[in-house]
């Protein structure tokens, strides 16, 4: 597993309220289907409804102050490899890798303290050679 982060997702009770807060801090992002993406250096900070995030991660409920980490990789096979490596190291696979609604392939594991990692192959998000991630221009995709 490479030593990098692609996305940090903050589970929020109210996406509009959370978006307004980060905008007041001066952050600029893009909202797509009640999900807000902020480019933050070589990764993305994402605001997403807590229930949707918990469901996506394959867990019943997020704890307080819930965030998840994600690493985007370069192929379906790499998703399987990283999740197998994590499981062998003692992680709990909360959601086995499967096809995603956006045409990718992803799964989740929890580390020994319950920190959730999504490992994803997402053909819509560009990964640079150095592993940095660029949020696409969603309007340009319409």
Q: Does 84 bind a second copy (CB under 8 A)?
A: no
Q: Is 115 helix (H, G, I), strand (E, B) or coil?
A: coil
| Closer residue to a second copy (CB): 45 or 97 | 45
- Tell me the chain's radius of gyration from C-alpha atoms: 15
Q: Does 111 bind a second copy (CB under 8 A)?
A: yes
List the one residue out of 71, 68, 69, 116 whose CA is nearest residue 92: 116
Q: What tokens were used for 30?
A: 């893009």
Among 18, 32, 84, 93, binds a second copy (CB under 8 A): 18
Residues recorded for the chain: 142
| Closer residue to a second copy (CB): 66 or 93 | 66
Tell me the site size for a second copy, rule CB under 8 A.
52
Q: In what order do the strands lie in the sheet with 92-99?
A: 92-99, 105-110, 116-121
Q: Give residues in contact with a second copy (CB under 8 A).
A: 1-5, 8, 10-14, 17-18, 21-22, 24-28, 38-43, 45, 50, 62-67, 69, 82, 85-86, 88-91, 110-116, 130-132
């Amino acid at each position: 597993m490479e030593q990098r982060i692609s996305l940090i997702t903050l589970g929020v009770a109210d996406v509009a309220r959370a978006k307004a807060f980060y905008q007041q801090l001066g952050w600029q992002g893009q909202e797509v289907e009640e999900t807000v993406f902020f480019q933050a250096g070589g990764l993305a900070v994402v605001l997403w409804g807590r229930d949707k995030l918990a469901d996506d991660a394959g867990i019943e409920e997020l704890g307080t102050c819930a965030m998840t980490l994600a690493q985007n990789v370069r192929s379906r096979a790499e998703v399987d490899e990283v999740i197998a490596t994590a499981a062998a190291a003692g992680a709990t696979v909360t959601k086995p890798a499967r096809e995603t609604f956006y045409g990718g392939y992803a799964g989740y594991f929890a580390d020994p303290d319950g920190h959730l990692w999504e490992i994803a192959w997402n053909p819509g998000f560009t990964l640079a050679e150095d592993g940095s991630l660029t949020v696409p221009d969603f309007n340009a995709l319409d």
